Amino acid sequence: MYVIGTAGHVDHGKSTLVKALTDIDPDRFPEEKAREMTIDLGFAWMTLPSGREVSIVDVPGHERFIKNMLAGVGAIDLALLIVAADESVMPQTREHLAILDILQITRGLVVITKTDLVDEEMVELVKEDIQDTLQGTSFAGCPMVPVSAYTSDGMPELKAAIDTILDKTDSRKDLGRPRLPIDRCFTISGFGTVVTGTLIDGTLTVGQEVELAGSGQNARVRGLQSHKNKVDATDPGVRLAVNLSGLSKNDVERGEILTIPGWLKSTYRLDARIRMVKNAPNPLKHNQGVTFHLFTSESPARVRLLDAERLTAGEEGWVQILLTDPLPVVKGDFFVIRSAEDTLGGGQIVDPNPRRRYRRFDDDVIERMMTMDQGTGGDIIVSIAEQWGPCDMITLSQRSNLPREEVSDRVRQLTEEKEIISLGDVSSDSDAVVYSSQGWAVLKSKVASALRLYHTQYPLRQGAPAQEIRSRLDLSQPVYQRVLARLVEEQIVVDDRQSVRLPEHEITLTPKMEEEASAYLDSLQKDPYSPSSNVKVSPELLGVLIDQGKVVRVADGVIFDAAAYKAMTNRIIEHLEIEGNITVAEARTIFDSSRKYILPLLEHLDQLQITRRNGDERVLR
């Protein structure tokens, strides 16, 4: 199914034409009927001679309602540019045409209305005027059909022309990520909240869980209708009414995006290629405030020019747009920017969630944006991974605007070509992440540098605490485990469970340290079950002895020689196996020691889950 949109100057007969085509009056409000002027979006549908059913979105032509017009044409497949034969091209004709051109709506048809009011010579003059106006736009060379909605002259030819164009128009792709930009919300007695819009990028089914991407509120699809017919499921590219359970009318506004949960997030910042309309009245300056329009949504915004000081009529440039109100956007979406009174330009989003650009006129920034805009799917994935690695498959799919299956296929190929480092099976592992090869090389260098510095600062420690390295890399625990496993596989680090070290790192004691360690061990062994604390040792050297397994610290200030600790542990276990329990007093008697040493030892065995405390006694677990 396809969606057709109207465009054109006020009072050029857009709504009248729609009614003549469909026998449906698209003007919904009493005020519109009283003033005979469309104020907001209207909707209709019809069956063409081919049997193809199409939806029609009728837009207002008055300059005061241009934002409503923008809400209606963002997701159409074919535009009907309406020009009245008795007035020819007018200001809103040019502005609507500029908007269609910015949105790159390439399927167009000019309908010359009100031919019953003029002669054939006038119609030919209007055609010439229109042809001149269309030059340099996406509508250049498009067909023109003269009609009269009152006499029905030309109406069969118009329907046939629409059919011919749609024969050559591709259906919208199912990317598996449905988006419904909401243009209306209302309630129906007995049914509840209903929203309408044009479905793009995926399908919806009755019973499906959905989400409002802007507010994050969840709901469930209670029912679906297309052209007032109930359906159980839909393809992308249809006008749809969705009955929602779990939301009230007050929860929903025009501009929200209805989608499936968990993938589409709002952003305050986006990168884009922008083009000024050819008749823009004023240049666009760096940091200029504008209104940003995308599908049915809008937001105040500020435009940062990245490769120019200003953009004049017809010029193009790279920009970063800072939104006042966050919007859910996807790479490849088209948008329009306006001043308070005029359409300035628009373009296509190349990165929906970039890092903030602090430097203008940066060749690396521009090159990356060009890759995101014009590169192949593989180039784009590598660029995203370089900027945002580690990336999971959902992130790559969202930011590249490619289907999940295609992303997985491309990642596998890029992995074979050594352009991407995959941590996990990207086809079946939902937690798999990827780095670009460059990003992975940077991470390896970062880890090696951090460990070299740590080994220099603490030469007597076995390695850096594992969680300290994770914190430096700013990784979640699951991703860190994957990263660490790969670093071990590549022999970049050695994983000693609680610590991480470089493979070449070895602890070497000086003769003075060896002497200090020997004296300390001798002091522990003189009275092994009640070791003296008179002989001190440096914390670093104590750490070495613990790592080497020569001593065991059971609590702060309570350290046993390793042989004594093993003997005491074995003796306690033997006692428990025979007697069933042991008290602190019994353990003191067995080892002729004091509570100072025995209680910390028993608590240590509790922590190791060798024993379990039961009142004043310990039993084996």
> Helix axis angle, 562-579 relative to 584-591, nearest 10°?
130
User: Which band of pLDDT confidence, cut at 50, 70 and 90, is reported for residue 34?
Assistant: low
User: Which band of pLDDT confidence, cut at 50, 70 and 90, is reported for residue 544?
Assistant: confident
Residues sharing a CB contact under 8 Å with residue 183, sequence separation 6 or more, in sequence order: 41, 71, 72, 196, 197, 198, 254, 296
DSSP string covering 313-336: TT-EEEEEEEEEEEEE--TT-EEE
Question: Average pLDDT of the chain?
Answer: 90
Query: How far apart are the C-alpha atoms of 591 and 597, rounded to whole Å?
Result: 10
Say yes or no: do domains 375-508 and 515-620 share a fold. Answer: yes
Span 81-104, average pLDDT: 93
pLDDT at 364: 87
Report pLDDT digits (tens) over 324-352. Answer: 999 999 999 999 999 988 999 999 999 98
Strands 257-259 and 209-212: antiparallel
Residues in the chain: 621
Asked whether 573 and 610 are in contact (CB, 8 A), the reply is yes
Can you give the three-state secondary structure of 502-563, one letter per residue? CCCCCCCCCHHHHHHHHHHHHHHHHCCCCCCCCCCCCHHHHHHHHHCCCEEEEECCEEEEHH
169 CB neighbour count, 10 Å cutoff? 13
Instruction: Reply yes or no on whether the pLDDT at 65 is more than 70.
Output: no
Span 189-216, average pLDDT: 92
Q: Which of these, 527, 550, 455, lies nearest to 537 by C-alpha position?
A: 550
Cα–Cα distance list, 10 to 36, 157, 350 (Å):
10, 24, 34
Percent of the chain with pLDDT over 90: 62
Domain at 2-167, CATH class: alpha beta
Query: How far apart are the C-alpha atoms of 505 and 451, rounded to whole Å?
Result: 9
Asked whether 111 and 83 are in contact (CB, 8 A), the reply is yes
Query: How far apart are the C-alpha atoms of 40 and 61, rounded to whole Å?
Result: 10
Query: How far apart are the C-alpha atoms of 184 and 78, rounded to whole Å?
Result: 21
Percent of the chain with pLDDT over 70: 97
Is the pLDDT higher at 402 or at 34? 402
User: Which band of pLDDT confidence, cut at 50, 70 and 90, is reported for residue 32?
Assistant: low
User: Which band of pLDDT confidence, cut at 50, 70 and 90, is reported for residue 307?
Assistant: very high
Residues sharing a CB contact under 8 Å with residue 227, sequence separation 6 or more, in sequence order: 45, 53, 55, 239
Asked whether 434 and 408 are in contact (CB, 8 A), the reply is no
Query: How far apart are the C-alpha atoms of 63 and 18, rounded to whole Å?
Result: 20
pLDDT at 401: 83
Query: How far apart are the C-alpha atoms of 384 and 321, rounded to whole Å?
Result: 19
Query: How far apart are the C-alpha atoms of 257 and 202, rounded to whole Å?
Result: 13
pLDDT at 36: 61
pLDDT at 45: 94
Report pLDDT digits (tens) over 160-193. Answer: 999 999 999 988 888 888 999 999 999 988 888 9
Tokens 């050819």 locate to: 278
State which H helix or E strand residue 371 sits in.
Answer: helix 363-374
Would you list the domain boundaries of the chain? Answer: 2-167, 179-259, 266-365, 375-508, 515-620
Query: How far apart are the C-alpha atoms of 320 and 342, rounded to whole Å?
Result: 21
The secondary structure of residue 163, as a DSSP letter, is H
Report pLDDT digits (tens) over 374-425. Answer: 888 889 899 888 888 899 888 888 888 888 888 889 999 999 999 999 998 8
pLDDT at 355: 77
Instruction: Reply yes or no on whether the pLDDT at 93 is more than 90.
Output: yes
Sheet (strand 464-465) strand order:
464-465, 499-501, 494-495
User: Which band of pLDDT confidence, cut at 50, 70 and 90, is reported for residue 491?
Assistant: very high
Domain at 515-620, CATH class: mainly alpha
Instruction: Reply yes or no on whether the pLDDT at 63 is more than 80.
Output: no
pLDDT at 616: 86
Report pLDDT digits (tens) over 548-593. Answer: 889 899 888 889 999 999 999 999 999 999 989 999 999 999 999 9
CATH of domain 266-365: 2.40.30.10
Span 236-258, average pLDDT: 92
Q: Does domain 375-508 have CATH number 1.10.10.10?
A: yes
> Helix axis angle, 377-388 relative to 404-416, nearest 10°?
80
Residue 352's φ and ψ, nearest 5 degrees, are -80, -10
Lowest-pLDDT range, 78-92, 422-436, 596-610?
422-436
Q: Which of these, 178, 174, 8, 150, lies nearest to 79 by C-alpha position?
A: 8
CATH code matching the domain that covers 179-259, chosen among 3.40.50.11810, 1.20.1250.20, 2.40.30.10, 3.40.50.970: 2.40.30.10
Residues sharing a CB contact under 8 Å with residue 159, sequence separation 6 or more, in sequence order: 21, 48, 49
Q: Which of these, 348, 336, 338, lies nearest to 271 by C-alpha position?
A: 348
pLDDT at 100: 93
pTM equals 0.74
